[in-house]
């Protein structure tokens, strides 16, 4: 029986799906065996792939570039900060006595001089009355001594003694008045009673906290300026703070530290804002935006920014067909891109392909557009 007759017989014995599967298996086996026996399939393609990789590693990488120039830009330095009352104090007792009154409640608005805590005066009023009586006597004795001395009937030493007694009586009155004044603890400035630490009937001694007062004005928004931003801000700069509570306040930078924090290497900045209506609260998170002076900067897409091995932010430029990494400082951001400083006045920036090259790699630049200052997209130039 011929091979054809045998195949027809096999086909008749098998159903149609099984027959088709047998044909596919036979074809696949023939293809594999041909490659193993001849050895040409793998051996011929491997050198070609290796050659292509070698060529790609040695030759310059094609990148798209755009030539840009610096321009004047008034940047906003954006910081994370918080509100802070410039004046806040913990009022403490200056005498030992029992608390007899608390005129100001927690959260109450108070004016400078308003009573906050009242203490038992004990015998202090009587002591003041006694001191005033002694003062009156001393005044009469001094007046009489002066009159007699003018007539020659009193020695000068006696007049001096009477004057000394008068001055001592005056000092004693002032002392008794001061001691009596300690019985009423008063607000040192306009503000809000933030906390009370005692209740009526408590016994306090000198140094015992009575209440905590937060001043209304001046009120601050404080933040930390990085080393790269310190040159862009100065006292007198105008700014805006947006609080997490939704409020927005305007103010002026009134303080900029001239020494960095040893741990964070940042500089404290304070912006004074109005708070006449007591609307602001101490310690609220805020986004602080400060107008900086005019700087030379370029507006670029954030997508072209890179990090070097040291973690510094920068961009890659082309110098004589060689890629160079240049560290930059982020000055400002906008819906159209970010503003960076630190590049030469004119630079050829790699806009496409910067992820595939590193500092010092040869490149084949393809111009993306004509010279521009603001980074506006132009029609790409035709590659040669």
- Architecture per CATH, 78-86+215-294: Beta Barrel (2.40)
Tell me, rounded to whole angstroms, the distance of Cα 179 from its chain centroid: 46
Residue 228 has pLDDT above 50, yes or no: yes
What is the chain's percent helix, strand, coil content, to nearest 5?
30, 40, 35
| Nearest partner of 245 among 119, 83, 380, 117, judged by Cα | 83
- Residue 57 pLDDT level (bands cut at 50, 70, 90): low
State the distance between the two ends of the chain, measured CA to CA, in whole angstroms. Answer: 69
- Architecture per CATH, 61-73+295-367: Beta Barrel (2.40)
CA atoms of 277 and 4, how far apart (whole Å): 105
- DSSP letter at 262 equals T
Q: Are 321 and 60 in contact (CB under 8 A)?
A: yes
- Residue 383 pLDDT level (bands cut at 50, 70, 90): very low
What pLDDT is recorded for position 8? 52
**When comparing pLDDT for 291 and 50, which is higher?**
291
Q: State pTM to two decimals.
A: 0.53
Q: Indicate the CATH number for domain 121-182.
A: 1.10.287
pLDDT in tens, 286-338: 999 888 777 788 999 999 999 988 888 999 999 999 999 999 988 777 788 88
Q: Are 59 and 342 in contact (CB under 8 A)?
A: no
CA atoms of 65 and 353, how far apart (whole Å): 9
Task: For 181, list phi and psi in degrees, rounded to 5.
Answer: -65, -25
Stated length of the chain: 384
Extents of the domains making up the chain: 3-58, 61-73+295-367, 78-86+215-294, 89-115+186-211, 121-182
Inter-helix orientation angle 156-181/124-150, to 10°: 160
Residue at token pair 């000092």: 171
């Amino acid at each position: 029986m011929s091979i054809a007759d045998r195949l027809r017989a096999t086909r008749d014995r098998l159903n149609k799906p099984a027959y088709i599967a047998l044909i596919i298996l036979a074809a696949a086996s023939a293809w594999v065996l041909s490659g193993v026996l001849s050895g040409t399939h793998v051996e011929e393609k491997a050198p070609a792939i290796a050659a292509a990789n070698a060529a790609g590693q040695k030759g310059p990488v094609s990148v798209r570039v755009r030539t840009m120039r610096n321009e004047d830009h008034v940047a906003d330095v954006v910081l994370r900060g918080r509100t802070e009352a410039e004046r806040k104090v913990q009022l403490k007792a200056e005498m030992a006595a029992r608390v007899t009154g608390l005129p100001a409640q927690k959260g109450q608005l108070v004016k400078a001089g308003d009573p906050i805590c009242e203490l038992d005066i004990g015998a202090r009023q009587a002591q003041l009355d006694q001191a005033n009586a002694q003062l009156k006597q001393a005044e009469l004795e001094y007046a009489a001594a002066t009159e007699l001395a003018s007539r020659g009937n009193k020695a000068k030493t006696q007049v001096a003694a009477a004057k000394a007694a008068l001055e001592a009586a005056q000092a004693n009155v002032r002392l008794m008045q001061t001691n009596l004044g300690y019985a009423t603890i008063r607000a040192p400035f306009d503000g809000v009673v933030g906390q009370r630490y005692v209740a009526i009937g408590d016994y306090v001694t000198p140094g015992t906290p009575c209440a905590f007062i937060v001043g209304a004005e001046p009120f601050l928004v404080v933040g930390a300026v990085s080393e790269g931003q310190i040159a862009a801000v100065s006292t007198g700069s105008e700014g805006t703070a947006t609080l997490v509570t939704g409020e927005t306040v305007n103010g002026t930078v009134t303080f900029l530290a001239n020494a960095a924090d040893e741990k964070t290497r940042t500089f404290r900045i304070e912006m004074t804002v109005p708070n006449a209506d007591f609307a602001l609260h101490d310690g609220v998170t805020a986004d602080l935006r400060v107008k900086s002076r005019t700087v030379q900067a370029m507006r670029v897409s954030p997508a072209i920014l890179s990090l070097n091995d040291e973690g510094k932010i920068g961009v890659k430029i082309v110098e004589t067909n060689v890629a160079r990494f240049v560290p930059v400082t982020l000055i400002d951001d906008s819906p159209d891109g970010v503003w960076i400083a630190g590049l030469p006045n004119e630079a050829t920036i790699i806009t496409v392909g910067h992820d595939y090259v590193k500092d010092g790699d040869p490149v084949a630049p393809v111009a993306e557009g004509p010279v521009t200052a603001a980074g506006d997209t132009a029609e790409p130039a035709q590659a040669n």
